[in-house]
Amino acid sequence: MLKKKDKNIRIKTYFIILNLIFATIAINFLIGSADATGACPVGGNCGASTLTPSGGSALTPSGQTSMPNPAGVGTPNNPSGVGGQYTYPGSGQVPTGAGDPNLMANQFGNNAGGSAAALQNGGSGAAKGQVADANSFNFGSFLGLLAGGVGLGMTIGSLAGGKNGAMWGAIAGGAGVAAYQIAVQMGASQMTAGLIGIAVFLVIFLLTYKKESQKPIEFQCLPWQAPMGGKNCEMCNKYSECSEYSCKSYGQACDLVNKGQKNQKCVWKDPMDTNSPTIEMTNVSLGHHFVPDTTIRPPATGVQILKNGGKCIKAFTPLTFTIKTNEPSQCKIDYNMTTYSADQKKGLYDNMGYYMGGDSSFDYNHTDTLSLPGPDAINAAAAANSSGVILHNDGTYTLYIRCEDANGNFDVDPFSVKFCVDKGPDTTPPLIENYSIPSGNPVQFNLSSLSLDVYVNEPADCKWSHEIKDYDHMEYNLSCANQMWEMNNFETYTCRANLTGILSDQDNVFYFRCLDQPYMESGRNPNMQSYEYHIIGTRPLNIMEFSPSNETISAATDVINVTLSVTTDNGYNNGEALCYYSNTGDEKDYVEFSDTGNSVSTQRQDLIAGDYTYYFKCVDLGGNAAYNSTQFSVESDKTPPFIIRAYKESSELKIITDENAECSYSFADCNFEIDDGIKMSSVDYTNHNAEWKPSKNYFIRCKDKYDNQPNPNTCSIILRPFDIYGEYDYNSTIQI
């Protein structure tokens, strides 16, 4: 968008251009008019005296009142004279003629005043005749000059590369030519007029020229996060429903107040908050304690973690600690203290390596767990793998923690956690911390082998067996990541086993033992007791029942609620399974039931009228799967029951409906509710009975199981029973 000043300049420029164009047209018009009135025909009267030089009379040189007329010489007064050439006292010359004054007039070379102008058509040097002049206007020449100026300006504008440069260059060139022509008509020299035209071109071009440029813009595709702060929180309240998810999407600092009430609102909590979160240590692993770290300078804060009854923690022992902030915050942790330059203060937090506990959510409490080797182990491993190069590590570590609140405030001075790892030799055996498949889990029917990851607290070599044996006599080896740097995300080392000999439908037991310090030749510590691991073999999983199945489901609506149900058995834990459904049977299309995980799974579907096929898949915890499918139809029934027959039987009035229905009647009219009328008895809901009362009008209304019934004050049928005695009474008939 142009600024106001730029707009004013352009408006003035357009005004100048238009004035120059109109002025050029006006001057050219005046010049053309003067030419038209100054033209003089041959021998015509062009002004003061016919063919009279300045200051003389007709054909009389300057200073003469009459011409000598020698005998026999033709003069204007003696056309019959013999032609000859005479020189008059004046400076002009009169050519000889044949007695025709017009001839003399047409050949009169110089006037009596000695002017150099040629007299044509009876004009004189001072007369307003049609005189050839270098400054006279030629419209054809002007058009050619204008075209050249426009073309030159367009070329310059295009090469300059400005916005609409060719257009504005053409306009400026045309205006310059117009200015040049005006200057010429006003008597300026060719050079002066040219300079004026160039000046006008430059002024207009510079005022309208606007340089265009391009620059690259870089885009990054990153996970979306709500913006920092909360200035837009209350926009959520404009909608009929503002959920907690919607509220928090407007900003990290947005939150709900009055949750669950009618006046639930999304607000920016503490919008004036400019304080960073405060951090304090609240808990540490059993067998350890923490004390304030007095070695750091204010305003930094921190603690030292110590082992109960000692100072340094045991090597390869998981150390867990928890911090608490005074407001919901994200917290990061790093072994290095990040720094920043004066213009990169934000890097203090963003450049830290890890979220505490791997969790980036905003919370009050944050927990992290780590397990570190002792300096002897580090140096021994380095010596074994680096040709004797020893890393000088004294076992002292400092961790740095910073937290950031929802408003983007973070701790400039980090909270430090200092501790040391025992330098003494490792005398404890490895610990198996966990398994990729928890002990006691089921496995698939007929699965005879299982790949299992075993997580050990330190680098080690491990074995397994079907029986309890010491490490050296166990038969099967595990493949272990036993280099110091191969620690996984759980702060442990992974060993992979291939368990074989698994039996179905029974408990399978395996035993593990490990030997630490694989980089050592001697002094290694094996497990003296085995770790026991259980796997439960299972039976096949079966789908016993499912519904609906080969039936038609009807309701009095366009969209009908249909409940899919699947019952499973066997497999693991008597059929406990997760069940899925699909319309196609393709594996990628299966959707989990909304209520599943037991032996019966259900799912509501809202369907329109039509024929349907559903495919079912159920999978138990052991990986056993069962499949089946069903077909059914859905109908929309929105019509009330029809009475297809009415008659007398055994002193009772009987009617038959076309579907299962409930009927009642009144002797007054059709304006009654079916539940309030006199009930008709029925055994099968299609045959309905009432007491036979001749000469009574039966106003009968019926409804089906979907509550379809006649409109208010409308009957399904109106009957008037009568008995026939002798002649038939045609006026007493059944009325429908």
- How much is the pLDDT for 680? 96
Q: Locate 552 and state its tokens.
A: 């038609």
- How much is the pLDDT for 62? 39
CB atoms within 10 A of CB 661: 25
Quote the longest CA-to-CA distance of the chain: 171
Q: Which amino acid is at 239?
A: Y
| Domain-located, residue 121 | no
- Is residue 348 located within the same domain as residue 383? yes
pLDDT of residue 71 exceeding 90: no
Q: Locate 125 and state its tokens.
A: 């040097």
- Is residue 589 located within the same domain as residue 548? yes
Task: Give Cβ neighbours of residue 47 (< 8 Å, ≥ 6 apart).
Answer: 123, 127, 128
Rg of the chain (C-alpha set): 57
Task: Give Cβ neighbours of residue 666 (< 8 Å, ≥ 6 apart).
Answer: 672, 677, 678, 699
Q: Locate 299 and state its tokens.
A: 């305003």
Query: From residue 480, how far is each of 316, 484, 486 by CA, in Å?
Result: 16, 12, 10
Looking at per-residue confidence, does 14 or 39 come out higher?
Answer: 14
Looking at per-residue confidence, does 225 or 288 come out higher?
Answer: 288
- How much is the pLDDT for 318? 81
Rounded CA-CA distance 77/59 in Å is: 11
- Is residue 17 located within the same domain as residue 147? yes
> Interior CA angle at 235 toward 231 and 241, to 5°?
140
Strand partners, 384: none
Per-residue pLDDT of 541-550, as tens digits, reads: 999 999 999 9
pTM passes above 0.75 = no
Q: Locate 18 and state its tokens.
A: 């238009």
Boundary of a domain, candidates 388, 420, 452? 420
**CB burial string 544-564: b at 16+ within 10 A, e below:** eebbbeeeebbbbeeebebeb
Rounded CA-CA distance 423/377 in Å is: 9
- Is residue 492 located within the same domain as residue 450? yes
Spell out where 557-636 has E strands.
Answer: 559-570, 578-582, 591-592, 600-608, 610-619, 625-636
Q: Locate 66 and state its tokens.
A: 């009459």
- Is residue 362 located within the same domain as residue 291? yes
Q: Cα-Cα-Cα-Cα dihedral of 158, 160, 165, 171, to 10°?
A: -90
Boundary of a domain, candidates 397, 420, 443? 420
Q: Compute the Cα dihedral for 376, 379, 385, 390 and give only its sign.
A: negative
* Number of domains composing the chain: 6
Rounded CA-CA distance 89/109 in Å is: 16
469: helix, strand or coil: coil
CATH number at residue 677: 2.60.40
- Is residue 143 located within the same domain as residue 176? yes
Q: Locate 97 and state its tokens.
A: 């003629």
- How much is the pLDDT for 520? 85
- Is residue 242 located within the same domain as residue 304? no
Percent of residues, the chain, with pLDDT higher than 70: 70
| Domain-located, residue 482 | yes
Residue range 647-670: mean pLDDT, rounded: 94
pLDDT of residue 654 exceeding 60: yes
| Domain-located, residue 122 | no
Phi-psi region of 25 (alpha: psi -120 to 50; beta: other; left: phi over 0): alpha
- Is residue 256 located within the same domain as residue 285? no
Residue 540 DSSP code: P
Among 399, 421, 405, 324, residue whose Cα is nearest residue 367: 324
* C-alpha neighbours within 13 Å on the C-beta side of residue 206: 6
Residue range 503-519: mean pLDDT, rounded: 94
- Is residue 564 located within the same domain as residue 632? yes
Per-residue pLDDT of 283-317, as tens digits, reads: 999 999 999 998 887 777 899 999 998 888 888 88
- How much is the pLDDT for 478? 96
- How much is the pLDDT for 270? 78
Residue range 694-709: mean pLDDT, rounded: 92
Q: Compute the Cα dihedral for 514, 516, 519, 521 and give only its sign.
A: negative
Per-residue pLDDT of 329-381, as tens digits, reads: 889 999 888 876 555 556 788 888 889 988 887 788 999 988 777 776 676 66
Percent of residues, the chain, with pLDDT higher than 90: 42
Residue range 529-536: mean pLDDT, rounded: 97
Looking at per-residue confidence, does 170 or 254 come out higher?
Answer: 254
Boundary of a domain, candidates 378, 394, 420? 420
Per-residue pLDDT of 405-429, as tens digits, reads: 887 888 888 999 999 988 777 788 9
pLDDT of residue 5 exceeding 90: no
pLDDT of residue 79 exceeding 50: no
Q: How confident is the model at residue 50 (pLDDT cuts 50, 70, 90)?
A: very low
pLDDT of residue 72 exceeding 70: no
- Is residue 398 located within the same domain as residue 344? yes
Highest mean pLDDT among 144-153, 392-401, 621-630: 621-630
| Domain-located, residue 218 | no
Q: Can you list the alpha helix ranges (DSSP code H) found in 224-302?
A: 244-249
Task: Say if strands 600-608 and 610-619 run parallel, antiparallel, or are unpaired.
Answer: unpaired
Distance from chain centroid for Cα 242: 22
Tell me which of 188-202, 271-285, 516-530, 597-611 is least confident: 188-202
Rounded CA-CA distance 199/179 in Å is: 9
- How much is the pLDDT for 25? 53
| Domain-located, residue 123 | no
- Is residue 617 located within the same domain as residue 686? no
Rounded CA-CA distance 697/717 in Å is: 10
pLDDT of residue 582 exceeding 90: yes
| Domain-located, residue 457 | yes
| Domain-located, residue 734 | no
Q: How confident is the model at residue 726 (pLDDT cuts 50, 70, 90)?
A: very low
Rounded CA-CA distance 16/239 in Å is: 55
Q: How confident is the model at residue 205 (pLDDT cuts 50, 70, 90)?
A: low
- How much is the pLDDT for 38? 44
Q: How many residues does the chain have?
A: 736
CATH number at residue 406: 2.20.130
| Domain-located, residue 71 | no
- Is residue 365 located within the same domain as residue 338? yes
| Residue-range definition of the domain harbouring residue 379 | 279-420
Residue range 658-662: mean pLDDT, rounded: 94
- How much is the pLDDT for 137? 56
Please measure the distance between the N-terminal and C-terminal CA atoms of the chain and give it in whole angstroms: 80
Residue range 265-282: mean pLDDT, rounded: 86
CATH number at residue 558: 2.60.40.650
Helical pair 4-38 and 190-208, crossing angle rounded to 10 deg: 150
Rounded CA-CA distance 459/641 in Å is: 80
Q: How confident is the model at residue 131 (pLDDT cuts 50, 70, 90)?
A: very low
Tell me which of 13-17, 225-229, 669-673 is least confident: 13-17
